[in-house]
Amino acid sequence: MPQPLLFELSDGVATLTLNRPERLNALNRELRVALRDALQQAWDDPEVRAVVVTGAGRAFCVGQDLRDRDPDTAAPRADAISRSVVEEYNPIASTLLTMPKPVVAMVNGPAAGAGAAIAFASDFRIMADDASYTMAFSGIGLTADTAASWTLPRLVGHAKATELLMLPSSVPAERALELGMANRVVLKHDLARVTREFARELAEGPTVALGAIKQSMHFGASHGVDETLALEHELQVRCATTQDYGNAVVAFLAKEQPVFRGV
């Protein structure tokens, strides 16, 4: 049996590859659990200083595997969805949004429903020129999950997010770039190399500071300025204790490039 998810660690970058290419990486329970647990593993492992999430084959991820859902009976259907949201989709989104390490979605092909939401909950999105997003939820009579109703308005604004969620259509990569749903669009041929270089640059950065930036931005998205200033203060004091800060100031004054070790 092939592994539903591949986990590779190299140069401080953990690459998580959704590995059901014959099903366009549709999320069955096995894959949802594997992704949830792998994200936690990446969070916990001090060797991991940046994370890449991508899909094997021609798709990034087409969301929930609809072949896994019984369309005939309402109550068991709702039970199954309730369980997968609480036990898998919510922890996946929450971990992507709050782990104190940068996450890059390498969007190598179609990303739909929860698959698109996984990309939106990442810190960066690098798309192949032939990749696309489809906010497929309402197309099958569901509402947004995996935090898409929180992340998408922050990427594209409330009005556009409402349109994309209520009238789902395919958003090609170039349009996604214009809308703010992608940081870079690159030729498919270059996608792996560009993403590797991008993620490696993050992994060679001041990991504690990058985690703090992520934490205060996430906090600031739903708190007032005074509370955010208090958290920034706390996190700045924490950064001030790191070797990375001390060494970088010495390097700056010596007109040298700093080397960050993530501690």
The partner residues of 262 in beta bridges, in order of sequence, read: none
By CB under 6 A, is residue 112 in contact with ligand T3D? yes
Are the C-beta atoms of residues 61 and 118 closer than 8 Å to each other?
A: yes
Residue of 25, 54, 95, 134 interacting with ligand T3D (CB under 6 A): 134
Residue of 39, 114, 121, 208 interacting with ligand T3D (CB under 6 A): 114
The partner residues of 134 in beta bridges, in order of sequence, read: 112, 170
Footprint (CB under 6 A) of ligand T3D, residues 157-186: none
Rg for the chain (alpha carbons), in Å? 19
By CB under 6 A, is residue 128 in contact with ligand T3D? no
Q: Which candidate, 24, 22, 29, places its Cα nearest to that of 2?
A: 22
By CB under 6 A, is residue 195 in contact with ligand T3D? no
Closer CB to ligand T3D, residue 77 or residue 193? Answer: 77
Are the C-beta atoms of residues 173 and 127 closer than 8 Å to each other?
A: yes
Residue of 4, 55, 113, 211 interacting with ligand T3D (CB under 6 A): 113
Binding pattern for the stretch 53-72 against ligand T3D, x by CB under 6 A and - elsewhere: ---------xxxxxx-x---
Q: Which candidate, 100, 141, 96, 86, places its Cα nearest to that of 116?
A: 96
Distance CA 124, CA 120 (A): 8
Q: Which residues bind ligand T3D (CB under 6 A)?
A: 24, 26, 62-67, 69, 81, 84, 110, 112-114, 134, 136-137, 139-140, 142, 145
